[in-house]
């Protein structure tokens, strides 16, 4: 799969903003932090299940890194897939 650099940068920005927004808003007990987790939920679910469930990986530092990497790959794939679909259309 040929991934463009702009797609990868766009995916990194999306994931970084979602993770930073969710962490900041959750720390300050603001309501819409759940909206930011919607962007990361498929990747986070995969990472947590691979780690043995939420109780086993609670507080582990690798969870955020793995979620960031997996969510970035998922978003870049989604962006590239939509670009290819749009070109064919």
CB 32 within 8 A of CB 25: yes
Answer whether residue 1 shows pLDDT above 70.
no
Predicted confidence (pLDDT) per residue in 35-79, tens digit = 777 788 888 888 878 877 766 667 777 888 888 899 999 999 989
CB 12 within 8 A of CB 72: yes
Answer whether residue 82 shows pLDDT above 70.
yes
Q: From CA 29, how far away is CA 49, in angstroms rounded?
A: 26
């Amino acid at each position: 799969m040929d991934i463009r650099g702009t797609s990868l940068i766009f995916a990194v920005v999306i994931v970084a903003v979602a993770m930073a927004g969710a962490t900041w808003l959750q720390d300050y007990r603001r309501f819409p932090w759940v909206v930011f987790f919607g962007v990361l939920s498929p990747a986070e679910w995969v990472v947590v299940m691979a780690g043995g469930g939420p109780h086993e990986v609670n507080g582990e530092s690798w969870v955020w890194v793995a979620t960031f990497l997996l969510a970035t790959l998922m978003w870049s794939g989604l962006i590239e897939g939509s670009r290819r679909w749009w070109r064919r259309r």
